[in-house]
Structure 1
Amino acid sequence: MKKIVILGSGAGGTMCAAKLRRELGRDWEITIIDNDEMHHYQPGWLFIPFGIYTADDCQKPKRDFIPSGVEFVLDEVVGVNPDKRVVECKKGKYDYDYLIVATGCHPAPEEVDGLENWKPDPKANEQTFFTLESACALYKRMKYFEKGKMIFNIAEMPHKCPVVPMEFIFMADWFFAKNGCRDNIEIEFVTPNTGLFTKPIATKVMTATAEEKEILVTPNFDLETVNTEEKY
């Protein structure tokens, strides 16, 4: 019996397991390992800060998506020994003939000077929506934000979903207008790119829209440090 082990049961790992299970015979054993039993619909996190989606709208049990004939192991991987072809987890070990790594990517705010101790907090002035917890915290922060300045800063390229920063600033404009406080809030979009987007035609159109909505765009800015006390 041949053994395939997949690390990660997000969209990539789950689709890979499903395709392999359809294509391979029963003489192949497929195991998928993940330390989270919930599947997160990450595109939905964008809508949580605006109260359009809730956390429950964006997650379901992963076992609902794991195909029949695939073993789902809820455990945390601590190491891989490629010489012995063994995956080491906290609760056990799993040998394999083929290993597929589909662990995805995760925000690393600790790599930015000044954000080493950052964590999701609805009272903090530094926020993101690239995790479920941080999206929920940002919702609580934006809900009561009625006056001041909001800076959306792309810290580094590449990032998940190229258009999501533009979606966020335009939705923020809509959200604050709906709440009757847009005139009291300045929105600035800061990016390391040469323009609002990477494609010339889209950049031209969205830059014009940003100007119409009085959203300031600051290009060619590489983030190095965040001063959380002085807020810059």
Structure 2
Amino acid sequence: MRRLLVLGAGTAGTMVVNKLRRRLDRPDWRITVVEPSDTHYYQPGYLFLPFGAYGPRQVVKPTAPLIADGVELVRGEVDRVATAENRVLLSDGRSLPYDYLVIATGVTPRPDQTPGMLDGGRWRRSIFDFYTYDGALALRDALDRFDGGRLVVHITDLPIKCPVAPLEFAFLADAYFRRRGMRDRVELVYATPLPGAFTKPIASARLGSMLDDRKITVEPDFLVERIDGTTLVSYDEREIPFDLLVTVPLNMGADYVARSGLGNELNLVPVDRHTLLAKGHDTIFALGDANDIPTSKAGSVAHFSVEVFTGNFLAHVAGRPMTGSFDGHANCFVESGDGRALLVDFNYDTEPLPGSYPVPALGPFRLLEDAAVNHWGKLAFRWMYWNVLLPGRPIPLPAHMSMAGKHIPKPEE
């Protein structure tokens, strides 16, 4: 019997075991997933927790019922991968052998990597994150108490999970303070290491104009070196004081990846960006946020890449060439406040463009357009996530990006 071992039961790991359990013969394959937490979090929902739009029940479910029957769920922390022995060693001393390994343990925020971020007792008192469940809930209480001043939304460095989420937070904060009748008492600043609002020029121009319209000041090319008290200080010595800092700390992969000699400086696993096979290893794949592919660390990337990976894995274990090629496809709804949102759809080679998705002309979603239908699409995705995506059921969306329905805007657009 051959053994498939998956590390991590987040989005990518859960999809992998649920899809492959249906495709791999049970008498021939033992599938095991290792996960330390008994709770699965709907991470896109973290964005809504600080504003009271979602409650805890909408973003939290127990892990075990999400895993398909016939998959062994092992509770435990990974200490390291012994690649020479085809074994994973857990921190409690257990050893799990594998024939094939999938690393899907994602990334986590690391505020300890920025000098001053955790100093002086300011963490989750005047400095907050919303990329964790506890952080989002703490920020909800802080926003409720906030009576005015300078609120800075800040990105430490890229890559990060869901790179549009900080923009969404800035837009939602603007709407939140307007609803409370105190927007004139709040100065909103968006500090980013990018030269603009987004990584690609057409989307960056569109999103940047939306920040301008909302009187949100952009501090571009801001690479933080340290935090001194209540001031962000960049490597070029620019300073941004704050009353309330909403930061996205450095995102890093799991420490065991470094201990195993499998990662880069951010503990991300270098992989072939089309097959997701770990470089230098013929039996190890890295999926979701855990790898170093040059695209967004978004749930859609996990979804589309797992679709390609599944067929490739079946071919690989049968001794056939992997003919599927992941193209970096990502799409993300961008909440803009007041019940509206944009949608971006792109891949390794094509930047976000205007148009309609997924059906040309009909949509229903509008690309790079601020529209109510996009907002409803984002809200509807939560149901899709729990009931279709995680169980590994087919979704009638192509894994590869299509140019159908898109167009390159004219200069006046």
After TM superposition, the score normalised by the length of structure 1 is 0.93
Structure 2: tracts of 5 or more residues without a match: 233-240, 242-413
- Pairing partner for 2:117 from 115, 118, 122: 115
Deviation of 1:93 (Å): 2.1
Deviation at 1:116, TM superposition (A): 4.3
The CA deviation at 1:117 is 5.0
How far is 1:64 from its partner? 1.8
- Cα distance, 1:83 vs structure 2: 2.0
Output the CA distance in 2 between the equivalents of 1:96 and 1:112.
37
Partner of 1:148: 149
Distance in 1 of aligned mates of 2:21 and 2:120: 41
Contact 2:120 2:229 in 1 (8 A): no
Per-residue deviation, 1:61: 0.8
Q: Which residue of 2 aligns with 1:29?
A: 30
Q: Residue 109 of structure 1 contacts residue 118 of structure 1 at CA under 8 Å; is this kept in 2?
A: no
> In structure 2, what is the Cα distance between the partners aligned to 1:8 and 1:170?
32
Q: What are the residue-to-residue correspondences of 1:1-232 with 2, within 5 Å?
A: 1-26=1-26, 27-89=28-90, 90=92, 92-117=94-119, 122=124, 124-229=125-230, 232=241
SS of the residue corresponding to residue 229 of structure 2 reads coil
Query: 1:30-70: per-residue Cα shift (whole Å, max 9, x none)?
Result: 00010001111000000011111122211101112101110
1:106 aligns to what SS in structure 2?
A: strand
Is the CA contact (8 Å cut-off) linking 1:112 and 1:224 kept in structure 2?
Answer: yes
Q: Secondary structure at the match of 2:141?
A: helix
Q: Report the CA distance shift for 1:88/1:105 in structure 2 as closer, same or farther (over 3 A).
A: same
Answer yes or no: is the 8 Å Cα contact 1:114–1:226 preserved in 2. Answer: yes
- Within 2, Cα distance between the matches of 1:177 and 1:51? 15
User: Does the 8 Å contact 1:47/1:53 carry over to 2?
Assistant: yes
CA shift, 1:177, in A, is 0.9
Amino acid across the alignment from 1:112:
T
Q: Is the 8 A contact 2:190 2:218 kept in 1?
A: yes
Q: Is the contact made by 2:117 and 2:123 (CA closer than 8 Å) also made in structure 1?
A: no
Q: Which 10-residue stretch deviates more, 48-57 or 75-84?
A: 75-84
Task: Write the distance in 2 (CA, Å) between the matches of 1:44 and 1:180.
Answer: 25
Separation in 2, partners of 1:218, 1:46: 22
Q: CA RMSD in A?
A: 1.8
Task: Work out which structure has the larger RCO, using CA pairs closer than 8 Å and 6 or more positions apart in sequence.
Answer: 1
Q: Residues of 2 paired with 1:119 and 1:42: CA distance? A: 26
Aligned to 2:369: none
Gaps of 5+ in 1: none
Shift of residue 211, structure 1, vs aligned partner? 1.8
Amino acid at match of 1:2: R
Superposition deviation, residue 215 in structure 1: 0.8
Does the Cα contact within 8 Å between 1:120 and 1:137 map onto a contact in 2? no
The one-letter amino acid of 1:101's match is I
